[in-house]
Amino acid sequence: MPCNISYACLDCRKAFKRPVHLQNMPEHAPCPECGGPMHDFGRHFKAPRQDDIKQWKKVRFLIEHGFRFQKIRTGPGHHDTVPYPDTLEEARTFVVTYRRFASPASVADDAD
């Protein structure tokens, strides 16, 4: 059974929900606007407004550091979820504090 996953294009600053099967979930999909790569942001991503450049810079920074807006759980229970940062300044601290939870994939890898 498919579930809806958020994919976002960092160049267009647009996000789209796509139904995917979890066992073959692609990390990237083509953007319907520009044809560039849209990145998998998981089920919980809430995209900023397209004109909110500061928030999109924060999103790009987090993605470049391996944080794809998946839930981060620091304890044994599902209630120990860490909230994602609200600002770019908070994001700088966040990536250092939670680097062990980062995905090895990043936007920088997409250029290869």
| Residue type present at position 55 | Q
pTM of the full structure: 0.81
Pairwise pLDDT comparison (109 vs 29), residue with the higher score: 29
Which of the four pLDDT bands, split at 50, 70 and 90, describes residue 110?
very low
**For residue 111, pLDDT beyond 70:** no
Nearest partner of 40 among 55, 22, 53, 58, judged by Cα: 22
**For residue 107, pLDDT beyond 60:** no
| Contact of 39 with 8, CB cutoff 8 Å | yes
| Contact of 7 with 15, CB cutoff 8 Å | yes
pLDDT attached to residue 80? 80
Which of the four pLDDT bands, split at 50, 70 and 90, describes residue 75?
confident
| Contact of 72 with 101, CB cutoff 8 Å | yes
pLDDT attached to residue 19? 80
The pLDDT tens digits for 18-73 are 887 666 666 778 899 999 999 888 888 999 999 999 999 999 999 999 998 988 88
Cα of 108 vs its chain's centroid, Å: 14
Rg of the chain on CA atoms, in Å: 14
Helices of type H across 43-86: 53-64
Taking residue 5's Cβ as centre, other Cβ atoms within 10 Å add up to 20
The pLDDT tens digits for 80-94 are 889 999 999 999 999
